[in-house]
Chains A and B, each alone.
Chain A
Amino acid sequence: MMENKRPPPVYSIALLSATSLAYELLLMRLFSIIQWHHFAYMIISLALLGYGASGTFLSLTAERLLPRFSAAYISNIVLFALSTLACYLLAQHVSFNPEEILWDFDQLLRLLLVYLVLTLPFFFVANCIGLALAHYRGGIGRVYAADLLGASIGSLGIVLLLFLVFPTTALQILGTLGFAVAALAWWELKCQPRRIVAVFILLSFIPLMLPAGWMALVISPYKELSQSLHISGTRIIDEYSSPLGLISVMESPQIPLRHAPGLSLNASGEPPRQLGLFTDADAMTVITAHTDEQEKLAYLDQISSALPYHLNKPEKVLILGAGGGADVLQANYHGAGHIDAVELNPQIVDLVRREYKDFAGELYTAENVGVHIAEARGFVSGSEERYDLIQIALLDAFGASSAGLYSLSENYLYTVQALQEYLAHLSPDGMLAISRWIKLPPRDTLKLFATAVEALRQSGIADPENRLVLIRGWQTSTLLIKNGEFSEQEIHSIKKFCEARSFDTAYYPGITATETNRYNILAQPYFFQGAQALLGNEAASYLQNYKFNLQPASDDQPFFFHFFKWDVFNEILALRGQGGMPLLEWGYLILIATLIQTVIASLVLILLPLLLARRTHNNAVGHLSRSLVGGYFFMLGLAFLFIEIAFIQRFILFLHHPLYATAAVLSSFLLFAGLGSAWSQRYACLQSYKAGVKGAITGIVLLGLLYLLALGPLFSMLNWLPIVVKLVISVILIAPLAFCMGMPFPLGLARLGKAAPAFIPWVWGVNGCASVLSAVIATIFAIHFGFTVVVLLALMFYGMAMVVFNGGWGEQKFIS
């Protein structure tokens, strides 16, 4: 194959890459709305194997396609443009219901169909880039740089776009951009006739003109919003969208919502009028109508989270996760002096403060209420205030929580370090109150108790048993951690509070077995037993023998909702016919299912071209060992994302906003890796390739180790800085590491381009598969071993890649 001396079409590559990365993130958003977040994760991971499939496809067809590069390149762009919209619209109409997968074989076929359909857009994009890498072998660094820089723009662009428009409109815009890329490519490649550019531009308007009916989201009938809309009179009166979620405001004038989870059995009365707030068609919270009649708000005193207000009169209250304001209302009802309410989503705050002010009254604008748009943990660590009460409400939806769907989500709210931070912001005798849904067998509540014990011990408290109280109804539990010891008087008030509401005391200092399990009776007093065990000497054996994982979460392993233990998998599986399936923690199993599917698909995709190509390209790879070449690119694929994912987690704790941290870290990584790749273009001979790879990987390993050691202390030192400065610091920290990480891949490809160009598409596919696997494996390792181990593993992979390249196939002779 001749090497192409013309410059690669970098602008169209960059724009294409930007569009496809934006599309990937948008699909995640769309599927989180119509399905559940974790199925979205699985579906999109599998769809990304389109990159691997493209490698396989190109390995077999590159010989025929490369002589017609322009036609092949532009056709694939057009196919991408067409498939962005078409494939999503098709996929959302496949009525896949994950819960039925246990019984219904059809569901598996539907899932497979969703995968296949959504793979197509990524397959076409990967074809374009794979073809460009194979065609412009002299400019591989530039092609890859354009790809990464484009992706960087895409990852930032979609976040901005989602602030401006609804996800479905964003989808239309991406469809439009697809055709715009085709026009750009036609122009860039100087194809004839030139007027086709105009045709593509005209075509690009079509996605924007599709009828609204086509673009409507087909939300699963089993999501809370869909269910609520079956009730007569209910309707969505407002919708707001941002990258943080789609918020639907629902009114139900005929049949009131009456949202009061955990309400005492002894309560009378019902809540005032409420508006439902759904995030991504699920997780309903409410805005409650303003009322001057205090007795109408009495229900706020009939739930377990009201307990701290009965022990002392907290003057200064901090509400973390304020949402529609139910907890602020509760604090007000109990006469709190000053209330600071923290909510992450500015649109929800705006709804209560402005849009529905007439409905909600002065809830968020009252003089005694300070509303802060911030991430809860970040707000606390940046605050110098001390509070009499820090209240963490029920933030997650019961449905998703009870199905264990959150188990692979990082959560920094309930880690040992987080609890320590909250405790440090309590006034003397102040209290931290955390409410959770009750699950049977107990999970969250006991894990939280274990976390509290650990946090107190790590804060140097010798007698955690005197500072903890746990109560429960049949639906919710509330844990109190006091900055001081509970007094006799307080314990008396706790008993009185519980008795009046038929709540059970599960733990207080000096509790006896007869005082538990009286109103909400379990087969055994599990909560009491758990609390006793966790405070006693046998805590370790209790944790080990318990059938769910109750080990406290830490900032390095922030998976509070990971309760699954492999030891009981078989037992639960054997009970599946007898209603045992709800005992499985789905989130984790979905992760494992994703891994298994990805491994199988990747093996097929990676091995297939080798088997098929044996006949055709037998000599093309020359002396190079296929496994060493494949291994090099596979390890790079794994390591790149390992580091990216682990550092996103590190920076979330520094930047205190999951969305901004992810967007900033991801785009910085891609941007500087792109620059690194462009820089690598200057290495042009065997020796310089080796030097380049050696230099880059040495840099990665040194910086990686340095960051592992230094980032923690550095972040706590710089925590006081304003967010903008922190963002700049983050980018500066990421830049050198990412720059180095951008080099090994194009250098390897350039080396391969000289020795065995026919294998470029194959390693492109290998790298694609590895990237998909990497994201899944990184999460599994983080859950089990923590993010530090993920980084160490990544550095090890980079080291191995260097050995394989510099001591292995990079050494071998060229055949051309």
Chain B
Amino acid sequence: MPEIEKLNRYIIQGISGVYDAYLEIKITSYARWTTSVTCCDSTREYLLLYRNRFVLLIFGLFVLLIGLSVQAQDKYTSARQTMVHAIEADAHFTSFFINKTALEPKVMEAMGKVPRHEFVPRKERHNAYENRPLPIGHGQTISQPYIVALMTDLLKPERQQKVLEVGTGSGYQAAILAELVDEVFTIEIIKPLGNQARQHLQQLNYDNVNVRVGDGYYGWEEHGPFDGIVVTAAASHIPPPLIQQLKPGGRMVIPVGSRFMIQQLVLVEKDAAGKVTTRQILPVRFVPLTGKH
């Protein structure tokens, strides 16, 4: 049906396109009608034409919705790519502190794949791929994508690993991790947030993420020890049980700062002998002393 195809194309271009297509169909139908009246019952044909037109319109609207959604998806995909480029640029600038010029390709791949807009409130969706933190309600935020990428990279995620996250928040960090490791366990203390994150993660088929609502202080012992732990919930100190649930050779990342501004990242490393050290990382290329000194 060439008309339908044409219509489809128009629809994807938006409502004005639909209107144009509608006019065009009307014209071609009219032409058909004018030729058909000579051999058919004009009234019947007329009604049929109207019915066809009605069906076409419904179909058109249906395609319009799909089209708009495809278009929106396209928009989000390209926005996400722009975001990935922004993160790459930031990582390059920060190389002095993270000791490399780029984040792991697989981390960037995950960043380019996970639909961040699904994890932010509807009214913030248009900002979803801006490289900035966004409010998600309950006084919480979804971190700046660059920080999420950096934290993920610091964990050195591998496929067979198990990672624990304390402070699920939106669930975005868990989704990124789920792209990279076998199993993610995440605990959220604020009930509505935890439930919402679970729902979003299920909808996006992240079956390897386990969400629990509750106190994260004691970690998730029955699934421990973990290869990596992310502690995004503010704590006055690093809970000792979390350090215990870190495997030898494991890494824990803690962002420090306010809800909107991460001041530094603390990387806790446990070596093979069980000795624990921290590494304090400024997520920005800034040396406190000038070269003059």
- CB-based contact B96/A523 at 8 Å: yes
- CB-based contact A103/B286 at 8 Å: no
The minimal Cβ–Cβ distance linking B128 to chain A, given in whole angstroms, is 13
- CB-based contact A231/B189 at 8 Å: yes
- CB-based contact B282/A578 at 8 Å: no
Binary B-proximity of A225-261 (CB < 8 A = 1, otherwise 0): 0110011100000000000000000000011101111
Closest B residue, CB atoms, query A226? B139
Complex contacts, A226 vs chain B, CB 8 Å? 139
- CB-based contact A578/B285 at 8 Å: yes
Cα–Cα distance between A579 and B288 once the two chains are bound (Å): 16
- CB-based contact A580/B286 at 8 Å: yes
The stretch from A4-12, A541-549, A679-687, A795-803 touching chain B is: A541-549
From A260, A268, A442, A475, name the one whose CB has the most chain B CB atoms within 10 angstroms: A475
- CB-based contact B236/A403 at 8 Å: no
- CB-based contact B135/A255 at 8 Å: no
Q: Interface of chain B, helix or strand or loop or mixed?
A: loop
Complex contacts, B135 vs chain A, CB 8 Å? 97, 100
Say whether A65 faces chain B, with CB atoms less than 8 Å apart. Answer: no
Binary A-proximity of B251-293 (CB < 8 A = 1, otherwise 0): 0000011111111101010000000111111111111111011
- CB-based contact B259/A222 at 8 Å: yes
Binary B-proximity of A258-295 (CB < 8 A = 1, otherwise 0): 11111101111110000000000000000000000000
- A578 with B146, Cβ < 8 A, contacts A402-B258, A439-B263 known: yes
- CB-based contact B293/A545 at 8 Å: yes
Cα–Cα distance between A547 and B291 once the two chains are bound (Å): 11
- A441 with B237, Cβ < 8 A, contacts A523-B96, A546-B289, A577-B86 known: no
- CB-based contact B146/A579 at 8 Å: yes
Cα–Cα distance between A295 and B138 once the two chains are bound (Å): 37
6 contacts between A and B (CB under 8 A): A256-B217, A266-B276, A440-B264, A440-B280, A542-B289, A575-B285
Say whether A755 faces chain B, with CB atoms less than 8 Å apart. Answer: no
Say whether A619 faces chain B, with CB atoms less than 8 Å apart. Answer: no
- CB-based contact A441/B236 at 8 Å: no
Complex contacts, B215 vs chain A, CB 8 Å? 254-255
Say whether B156 faces chain A, with CB atoms less than 8 Å apart. Answer: no
- A577 with B293, Cβ < 8 A, contacts A100-B135, A474-B278, A520-B277 known: no
Cα–Cα distance between A99 and B264 once the two chains are bound (Å): 17
Binary B-proximity of A202-241 (CB < 8 A = 1, otherwise 0): 0000000000000000000110001100111000000000
Binary B-proximity of A655-668 (CB < 8 A = 1, otherwise 0): 00000000000000
- CB-based contact A582/B257 at 8 Å: yes
Cα–Cα distance between A255 and B217 once the two chains are bound (Å): 9
Complex contacts, A258 vs chain B, CB 8 Å? 217, 235-237, 239
Those 5 A-B pairs whose CB atoms lie nearest each other, nearest first: A263-B237, A221-B139, A441-B288, A99-B260, A582-B263
Complex contacts, B144 vs chain A, CB 8 Å? 579
Complex contacts, B276 vs chain A, CB 8 Å? 265-266, 502
Cα–Cα distance between A547 and B285 once the two chains are bound (Å): 13
Binary B-proximity of A502-525 (CB < 8 A = 1, otherwise 0): 100000000000000011111100
Complex contacts, A402 vs chain B, CB 8 Å? 256-258, 263
Say whether A572 faces chain B, with CB atoms less than 8 Å apart. Answer: yes
The minimal Cβ–Cβ distance linking A376 to chain B, given in whole angstroms, is 23
Say whether A370 faces chain B, with CB atoms less than 8 Å apart. Answer: no
- A579 with B240, Cβ < 8 A, contacts A230-B139, A439-B263 known: no
* Among B217, B277, B283, contact of A579 (Cβ-Cβ < 8 Å): B283
Closest A residue, CB atoms, query B277? A519
Interface residues of B in 194-242 (CB under 8 A from A): 215, 217, 234-240
- CB-based contact B277/A580 at 8 Å: no
Closest B residue, CB atoms, query A541? B293
The minimal Cβ–Cβ distance linking A522 to chain B, given in whole angstroms, is 5
- CB-based contact B240/A545 at 8 Å: no
Complex contacts, A541 vs chain B, CB 8 Å? 292-293
Say whether B190 faces chain A, with CB atoms less than 8 Å apart. Answer: yes
Given contacts A441-B288, A546-B289, 8 further A-B pairs with CB under 8 A are A99-B260, A222-B258, A399-B258, A441-B287, A575-B93, A575-B284, A578-B90, A578-B93
Binary B-proximity of A580-609 (CB < 8 A = 1, otherwise 0): 111100000000000000000000000000
Say whether A526 faces chain B, with CB atoms less than 8 Å apart. Answer: yes
Cα–Cα distance between A14 and B284 once the two chains are bound (Å): 55
- CB-based contact B237/A262 at 8 Å: yes
Say whether A367 faces chain B, with CB atoms less than 8 Å apart. Answer: no
- CB-based contact B279/A441 at 8 Å: no
Closest A residue, CB atoms, query B283? A579
Cα–Cα distance between A5 and B49 once the two chains are bound (Å): 93
Binary A-proximity of B17-41 (CB < 8 A = 1, otherwise 0): 0000000000000000000000000
CB within 8 Å of B: which residues of A? Answer: 97, 99-100, 102-103, 221-222, 226-227, 230-232, 254-256, 258-263, 265-270, 399, 402-403, 438-442, 474-475, 502, 518-523, 526, 529, 538, 541-542, 545-548, 571-572, 575, 577-583
- CB-based contact A227/B234 at 8 Å: yes
- CB-based contact A100/B288 at 8 Å: no
Complex contacts, A582 vs chain B, CB 8 Å? 257-258, 261-263
Closest B residue, CB atoms, query A95? B135
Cα–Cα distance between A518 and B256 once the two chains are bound (Å): 20
- A519 with B278, Cβ < 8 A, contacts A103-B132, A546-B288 known: yes
Cα–Cα distance between A97 and B258 once the two chains are bound (Å): 13
Closest B residue, CB atoms, query A265? B276
* Among A262, A403, A475, contact of B261 (Cβ-Cβ < 8 Å): A403
Complex contacts, A580 vs chain B, CB 8 Å? 284, 286
The minimal Cβ–Cβ distance linking B170 to chain A, given in whole angstroms, is 15
Complex contacts, B217 vs chain A, CB 8 Å? 255-256, 258, 270
Complex contacts, A578 vs chain B, CB 8 Å? 90, 93-94, 146, 283-285
- CB-based contact B130/A579 at 8 Å: no
- CB-based contact A581/B261 at 8 Å: yes
- A575 with B286, Cβ < 8 A, contacts A232-B191, A255-B215 known: yes
- CB-based contact B290/A545 at 8 Å: yes
The minimal Cβ–Cβ distance linking A420 to chain B, given in whole angstroms, is 28
From B94, B130, B288, name the one whose CB has the most chain A CB atoms within 10 angstroms: B288
The minimal Cβ–Cβ distance linking B192 to chain A, given in whole angstroms, is 9
Complex contacts, B97 vs chain A, CB 8 Å? 523
From B237, B277, B293, name the one whose CB has the most chain A CB atoms within 10 angstroms: B237
Cα–Cα distance between A222 and B127 once the two chains are bound (Å): 20
- A261 with B237, Cβ < 8 A, contacts A100-B135, A526-B288, A582-B262 known: yes
Complex contacts, A521 vs chain B, CB 8 Å? 277-280
From A439, A572, A580, name the one whose CB has the most chain B CB atoms within 10 angstroms: A580
